[in-house]
Amino acid sequence: MGYRYLLRERCLNWGATPEGATREMPGDDLLPRADIVSTRAVTIDVDAAAIWPWLAQFGPGRGGAYTYDWIETSSD
């Protein structure tokens, strides 16, 4: 009971500003009446040139998805 009132909103919008949590995002039109909406964000206080090499390594066939091992090692 306490989770619902004390932590749920914080968990669904971790790191996001109020504006970021409520604005329209790409893909929102795919499920216009979603049962649950979650927006999580991280602010990285550096120039884009410093973070781009790290972001570019994400994804299958690159540095990985940074997720559970069974997802990264599953066969196609």
| 29 and 56 housed in the same domain | no
- Same domain as 63, residue 51: yes
Listed residue (71, 72, 51, 76) closest to 63, CA to CA? 72
pLDDT in tens, 15-67: 888 888 888 989 999 998 999 888 888 888 899 899 888 888 877 677 666 66
Residue 6 and residue 36 in one domain: yes
Please say whether the beta carbons of 49 and 21 come within 8 A: no
Clarify whether residues 22 and 37 are in a common domain.
yes
| pTM confidence score | 0.48
How many domains does the chain fold into? 2
Backbone angles phi, psi at 48, to 5 degrees: -55, -35
Lookup result for tokens 């504006």: 19
- 59 Cβ contact list (under 8 Å, min separation 6): 65
51 and 23, same structural domain?
Answer: no
Query: What range defines the domain where residue 62 resides?
Result: 45-76
